[in-house]
Amino acid sequence: MTDRQNLGLLCFYPSRAMEARLMQELVAAGFDDITTAQGRIAARIGPHGTRLTDLAAQALVTKQTANHLVDQLQRAGYVHRVPDPTDGRARLVQMAERGRAAVALARRVEAEVEAEWTAHLGEEATAQLRAALERLREVTDPYR
């Protein structure tokens, strides 16, 4: 038995810290009606929209759960649904103006946090960490 934590947990801690900081900043900026679960779905919406089934698969939730979360996001004005131009039967979830404003804030906060982490780790270690995690993503993220 060892006290050494596995790599999954070591990746989780900073991810959780980033997510908590994002949520804190969103609330402070008036986006206080979005939950972490809703944010995890919204973060997976592509620039031209994403099908609900793809959002569910990427977020590792059921289609029913993803639909419920998207319904909540839509009622709050963060997203809207539009016909999929490639398949008339399907619909895409797209960011609405309010959602785009929240995403813009989230991107600024992500940059701030990364700058803080870089100041803590140093440029070289940060570059090495990014390179290692990008390589690891090749074998861990089927949606890359």
Residue whose tokens read 């991107």: 107
* Nearest residue to 144 via CA among 18, 58, 55: 58
- Tally of domains in the chain: 1
User: What was the pLDDT predicted at 6?
Assistant: 93
CATH of the domain at 73: 1.10.10.10
User: What was the pLDDT predicted at 1?
Assistant: 61
- 2 found inside a domain: no
- 91 found inside a domain: yes
Helix (H) or strand (E) holding 50: strand 50-51
User: CA 140, CA 90: separation in Å to the nearest integer?
Assistant: 28
- 18 found inside a domain: yes
User: CA 77, CA 22: separation in Å to the nearest integer?
Assistant: 19
Positive or negative: CA dihedral 31, 35, 36, 41: negative
* Mean pLDDT to the nearest integer, 62-72: 97
Q: Which domain holds residue 79?
A: 7-139
- pLDDT tens for 3-60 read 899 999 999 999 999 999 999 999 999 999 999 999 999 999 999 999 999 999 999 9
User: CA 38, CA 72: separation in Å to the nearest integer?
Assistant: 8
* Mean pLDDT to the nearest integer, 85-113: 95
Q: What pTM value is reported for the model?
A: 0.88
